[in-house]
């Protein structure tokens, strides 16, 4: 069902309304249905095709089309029906049309619209049906705006505008005729009482037009524009009675004469375009507000151009008779055009008014005296002076353009020393010019250092707390940036509270150390002995390395003692090394060193010297070899005992456990992606060796600081070399702790690096002067600690690791239990080997007694078993610590491997042998009847019961033997029964 949208009393008129809408739909290809459903009720912006209908504010209160709006592309197909010479749309108020083509160009839309007197707004664009202007297109009592735009490039012929075009449209306020007009007449017979804006695009020539604008026709005209096409020649008369005229800025027409003083409403006048006229001169003084004056193509205009023109910012006088100008000079130093942020200044006298070119724009700062030049091209401004031609209009000058930009980033204070401050800032400048850097234009910032591209440091004498300016300047440009100094706060930040609380910042930003054993803002304690050794060619000569203070050369009373008893006479010294000679032969083993400077600065380095005794030559001994064969079951079948009583193992077997285990070479190692934990996983059997913490120990071996590794994250980087070796580097991010803990700020400067490496091939690694053989798939762990802030010159470091060990561990060989020590120590009580057994796998860690101290110097390092904490009856968590002397860079280097125990089963205890061995132990003391009963238990247990039950059973047998020793003669019968029982299936008894 349809509701009629064209309400009327006569059906013929209803049909005319429908026909008018259908005509538009077909003529312009409007995507709307050809029936009453084409209507929409919304009237607003941003709809490209619509018929708006309603019954409000219509002349008869009935439902009508009140608005037609469409913006369409393409050329519609088909031929619309013919219409009468007008539309039947009595309530239409607005038509807005933009189209690229029409179905029937012979039907002029203006002919159809001229009868629609209800229209208040007509906006037409590019309508190809409008090939002429109807002579009777006038008398629109409600029309307020008329706009007709045509495609200037597509139109072949110009339009003749009828004399009465839009005449007597008493409410019309704006006319825009943007189409080429070849003929038009505007005189005082026309009547536009409300018109304020008139725009005309002229293609007229002499004799084809008459334009005389009077107040009678245009009593309210404010803006009058005429744009000329190329070749057009038009004369317009603007009568002085048109007193409301306000805008003539964009007028381009030939004018008979203009008296500017007759138009008070033009003031303040900023622009005046009088191009293509026949003006000989200006008969009045120019307004003070005038900034743009164009007299282009006024061939008879001869000026004169006087000083009164100097206030104009843009003066266009091309194609005139002007022949002279006031003298001009450009006063820029060295004729340079120095830019800053693409802007430069041109100064002088009568230098012109500026211009706009393709690559720059020149505007006035002070008319005719100072111009602002802005470079607009994408090509960078040259960094050395380059000739350019500058059009100042009317002047043209040759100048040298160069980039002078100075861009400064926000300064930061890097360091406050006793006499100066180091400032860091970003700086972008042109090195062609000499630059100076000052603070507050008074204090020089010297020692400028380019530490990174566009990043600089400079040093200034101590500044007071408060606000300052960092100023960078050359002869042309100056740039500055403010910054604030709080010396106490900066000292606290830059020194981390005098490096972990070793002192206190004063008001001048200087660290006052709590002890005279610190220097460099309390960051470096001294004296420190970080490493020491006897010279190999003369073990009376001792070399000590460390930090003995910046004024060591001024010390006169230096005492060095070995073990507090042996005097070591100083031969030479520097801040970082002391060489001395002991007056007697030192003892073999470890020795401590005591150092005293001027009776008030002392230090002691425990066990810093190690004199190894020369190896002795043991003589061949049959007993030693025999003992080796007995104790090791002839090297467990995987080697042989040499004459010195040592096992010489087959390839791949470990000499540490006398050839019992063999290195596993066919396995895949997956490094930890989050932290440097040594990990093996062999068919579900795993082993972990995890870094736990770094401890600072005082002289009494008590913990004064501790950095817990788990509270931080690691930055991880993995590389592979030579297709065999994988290296994973870890760097501890000491800023990653999620919350403050344990004096967090104390550890901020510390740097902790760790490297895990492994290879599918055997390799030899040098560390601390030793050549270490690493079997295939052994894992090498290196830890490097630097920039630790020590609390005292007596402090040392200890790196703590944790791992899971067995409370007791043993293997069975030839049916005999052999205990395997988890921890093996050397003669100096330093841990050498860690061995953890799981199933048939042995995980082994090797710890050498050497660490690397400052400058890669080897020094003695002791590995300690700190503690073991049981977690159940079988396992404990072991804490292992590797110690360092006090060093600014400390490096440790243990390694780990996985081995399989007795891989070929040599010496394995089989079922028959196990039964006989057990019976032999108890045969001499058990009766035949009792042994038969017990034998059943033994046979069952040897199949299903674990080792601990077998031991308990052995203990029961031993107790029985004391009460049954009178049956020892039953041994022969017992063997017979045993042999028979091996072939029988004996039921398994329940466990007691």
CATH of the domain at 474: 2.60.40.10
Residue 845 lies inside a defined structural domain of this protein: yes
Residues 362, 440, single domain; the answer is no
- Look at residue 801 and give its three-state secondary structure: strand
| Residues in the chain with pLDDT values less than 70 | 1-16, 42-48, 78-79, 81-85, 206, 230, 240, 243, 246-272, 283-289, 291, 307, 310-311, 313-314, 418, 615-623, 736-749, 856, 910-992
Residues 544, 580, single domain; the answer is yes
Residues 776, 845, single domain; the answer is yes
**Span 913-924, pLDDT tens digits:** 333 333 333 333
Beta bridge partners of 145: 121, 174
| 3-class SS letters over 63-109 | CEEEEEEEECCCCCCCCCCCCCCCCCCCCCCEEEEECCCCCCCCCCH
Which of 350, 371, 403 is the last residue in one of the domains?
A: 403
**Span 740-792, pLDDT tens digits:** 434 444 455 689 999 999 999 999 998 888 899 999 999 999 999 998 888 88
Complete DSSP assignment for 510-556: -EEESSTTEETTTTEESSEEEEEEEETTEEEEEEEEEE--TTGGG--
Contact in structure between 461 and 443 (CB atoms under 8 Å): yes
Residues 187, 153, single domain; the answer is yes
Residues 312, 214, single domain; the answer is no
Contact in structure between 693 and 800 (CB atoms under 8 Å): yes
Residue 922 lies inside a defined structural domain of this protein: no
Residues 27, 45, single domain; the answer is yes
Contact in structure between 184 and 209 (CB atoms under 8 Å): yes
Residue 9 lies inside a defined structural domain of this protein: no
Instruction: Say how far apart CA 451 and CA 691 lie, in whole Å.
Output: 36
Residue 957 lies inside a defined structural domain of this protein: no
pLDDT in the model for residue 204: 81
Instruction: Say how far apart CA 770 and CA 150 lie, in whole Å.
Output: 95
Residues 775, 865, single domain; the answer is yes
Residue 910 lies inside a defined structural domain of this protein: no
Q: How many domains does the chain have?
A: 8
Instruction: Say how far apart CA 658 and CA 635 lie, in whole Å.
Output: 6
Residue 975 lies inside a defined structural domain of this protein: no
Instruction: Say how far apart CA 322 and CA 299 lie, in whole Å.
Output: 9
Instruction: Say how far apart CA 555 and CA 601 lie, in whole Å.
Output: 11
Residues 502, 491, single domain; the answer is yes
Residue 974 lies inside a defined structural domain of this protein: no
Other beta carbons within 10 Å of 369: 16
pLDDT in the model for residue 911: 44
CATH number at residue 696: 2.70.98
Residues 296, 353, single domain; the answer is no
Instruction: Say how far apart CA 495 and CA 486 lie, in whole Å.
Output: 14
Domain interval for residue 276: 268-326
Residues 384, 445, single domain; the answer is no
Which of 403, 423, 448 is the last residue in one of the domains?
A: 403
Residues 781, 881, single domain; the answer is yes
Residue 940 lies inside a defined structural domain of this protein: no
pTM for the full model?
0.49
- Look at residue 299 and give its three-state secondary structure: coil
Which of 595, 630, 658 is the last residue in one of the domains?
A: 658
Q: Which DSSP category does 391 fall into?
A: E
Instruction: Say how far apart CA 93 and CA 975 lie, in whole Å.
Output: 128
Contact in structure between 552 and 575 (CB atoms under 8 Å): yes
Residues 516, 538, single domain; the answer is no
């Amino acid at each position: 069902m349809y509701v009629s949208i064209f309400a009327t009393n006569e059906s013929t008129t209803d049909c005319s309304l429908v026909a008018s809408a259908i005509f538009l739909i077909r003529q312009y290809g409007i995507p709307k249905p050809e029936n009453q459903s084409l209507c929409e009720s919304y009237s607003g912006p941003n709809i490209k095709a619509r018929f708006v209908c309603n019954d409000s504010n219509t002349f008869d209160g009935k439902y009508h089309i009140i608005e037609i709006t469409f913006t369409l592309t393409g050329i519609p197909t088909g031929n619309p029906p013919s219409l009468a010479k007008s539309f039947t749309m009595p309530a239409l108020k607005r038509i807005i049309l933009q189209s690229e083509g029409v179905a029937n160009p012979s039907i002029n839309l203006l002919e159809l619209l001229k009868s629609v007197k209800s229209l208040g707004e007509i906006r037409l664009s590019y309508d190809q049906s409008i090939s002429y202007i109807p002579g009777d297109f006038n008398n629109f009592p409600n029309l307020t705006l008329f706009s007709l735009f045509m495609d200037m490039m597509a139109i072949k012929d110009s339009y003749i505008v009828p004399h009465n075009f839009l005449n007597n449209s008493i409410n019309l306020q704006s006319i825009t005729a943007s189409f080429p007009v070849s003929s038009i007449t505007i005189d005082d017979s026309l009547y536009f009482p409300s018109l304020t804006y008139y725009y005309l695009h002229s293609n007229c020539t002499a004799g084809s037009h008459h334009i005389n604008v009077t107040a009678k026709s245009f009593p309210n005209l404010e803006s009058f524009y005429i744009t000329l096409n190329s070749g057009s020649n038009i004369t317009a008369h603007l009568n002085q009675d048109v007193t409301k005229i306000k805008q003539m800025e964009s007028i381009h027409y030939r004018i008979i004469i203009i008296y500017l003083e007759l138009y008070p409403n033009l003031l303040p006048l900023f622009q005046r375009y009088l191009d293509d006229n026949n003006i000989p001169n200006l008969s009045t003084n120019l307004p003070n507000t005038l900034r743009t004056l164009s007299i282009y193509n006024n061939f008879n205009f001869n000026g004169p151009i006087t000083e009164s023109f100097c206030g104009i910012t843009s003066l266009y006088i091309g194609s005139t008779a002007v022949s002279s100008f006031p003298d001009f000079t450009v006063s820029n130093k060295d004729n340079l055009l120095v830019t800053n942020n693409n802007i430069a200044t041109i100064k002088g006298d009568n230098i012109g008014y500026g211009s706009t070119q393709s690559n720059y724009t020149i505007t006035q700062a002070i008319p005719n005296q100072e111009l602002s030049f802005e470079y607009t091209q994408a090509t960078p401004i040259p960094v050395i002076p380059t000739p350019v031609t500058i059009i100042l209009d009317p002047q043209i000058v040759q100048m040298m353009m160069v980039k002078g930009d100075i861009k400064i980033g926000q300064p930061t204070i890097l360091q406050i020393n006793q006499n100066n401050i180091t400032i860091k800032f970003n700086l972008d400048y042109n090195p062609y010019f000499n630059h100076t850097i000052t603070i507050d234009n008074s204090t020089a910032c010297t020692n400028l250092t380019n530490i990174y591209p566009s990043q600089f440091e400079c040093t200034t004498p101590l500044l007071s707390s408060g606000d300052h300016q960092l100023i960078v300047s050359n002869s042309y440009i100056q740039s500055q940036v403010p910054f604030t100094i709080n010396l106490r706060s900066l000292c606290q930040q830059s020194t981390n509270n005098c490096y972990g609380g070793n002192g206190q910042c004063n008001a001048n930003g200087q660290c006052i150390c709590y002890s005279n054993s610190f220097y460099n803002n309390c960051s470096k304690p001294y004296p420190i002995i970080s490493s020491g050794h006897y010279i190999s060619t003369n073990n009376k000569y001792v070399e000590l390395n460390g930090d003995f203070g910046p004024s060591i050369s001024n010390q006169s009373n230096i005492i060095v003692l070995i073990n507090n008893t042996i005097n070591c006479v100083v031969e030479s010294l520097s801040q970082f090394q002391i060489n001395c000679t002991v007056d007697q032969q030192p003892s073999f083993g470890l020795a401590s060193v005591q150092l005293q400077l001027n009776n008030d600065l002392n230090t002691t380095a425990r066990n810093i010297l190690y004199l190894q005794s020369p190896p002795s030559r043991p003589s061949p001994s049959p007993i030693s070899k025999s003992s080796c064969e007995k104790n090791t079951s002839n090297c467990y079948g995987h080697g042989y005992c040499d004459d010195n009583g040592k096992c010489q193992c087959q390839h791949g077997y470990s000499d540490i456990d006398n050839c019992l285990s063999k290195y596993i070479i066919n396995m895949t190692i997956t490094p930890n992606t989050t932290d440097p934990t040594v990990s093996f996983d062999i068919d579900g059997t795993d082993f972990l060796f995890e870094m736990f913490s770094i401890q600072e120990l005082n002289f009494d071996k008590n913990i004064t600081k501790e950095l817990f590794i788990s509270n931080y994250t690691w930055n991880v980087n993995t590389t592979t070399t030579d297709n065999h070796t994988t290296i994973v580097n870890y760097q501890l991010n000491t800023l990653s702790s999620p919350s403050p803990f344990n004096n967090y700020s104390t550890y901020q400067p510390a740097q902790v690096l760790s490297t895990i490496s492994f290879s599918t091939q055997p390799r030899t690694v040098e560390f601390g002067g030793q050549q270490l053989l690493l079997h295939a798939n052994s894992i090498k762990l290196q830890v490097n600690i630097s920039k630790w802030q020590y609390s005292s010159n007596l402090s040392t470091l200890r790196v703590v690791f944790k791992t899971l060990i067995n409370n007791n561990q043993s293997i069975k060989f030839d049916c005999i239990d052999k205990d395997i020590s988890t921890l093996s120590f050397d003669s100096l009580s330093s841990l050498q080997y860690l061995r953890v057994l799981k199933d048939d796998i042995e995980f082994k860690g090797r710890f050498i007694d050497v660490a690397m101290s400052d400058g890669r110097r080897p020094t003695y390092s002791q590995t300690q078993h700190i503690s073991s904490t049981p977690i159940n009856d079988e396992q404990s968590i072991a804490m292992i610590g590797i110690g360092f002397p006090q060093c600014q860079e400390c490096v440790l280097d243990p390694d780990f491997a996985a081995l399989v125990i007795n891989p070929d089963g040599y010496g394995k205890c089989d079922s028959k042998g196990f039964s006989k061995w057990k019976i032999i132990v108890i045969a001499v003391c058990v009766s035949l009847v009792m042994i038969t009963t017990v034998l059943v238990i033994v046979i069952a247990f040897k199949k299903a019961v674990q080792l601990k039950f077998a031991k308990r059973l052995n203990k029961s047998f031993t107790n029985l033997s004391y009460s049954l020793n009178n049956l020892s003669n039953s041994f022969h019968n017992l063997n017979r029964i045993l042999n028979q029982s091996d072939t029988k299936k004996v039921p398994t008894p329940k466990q007691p």
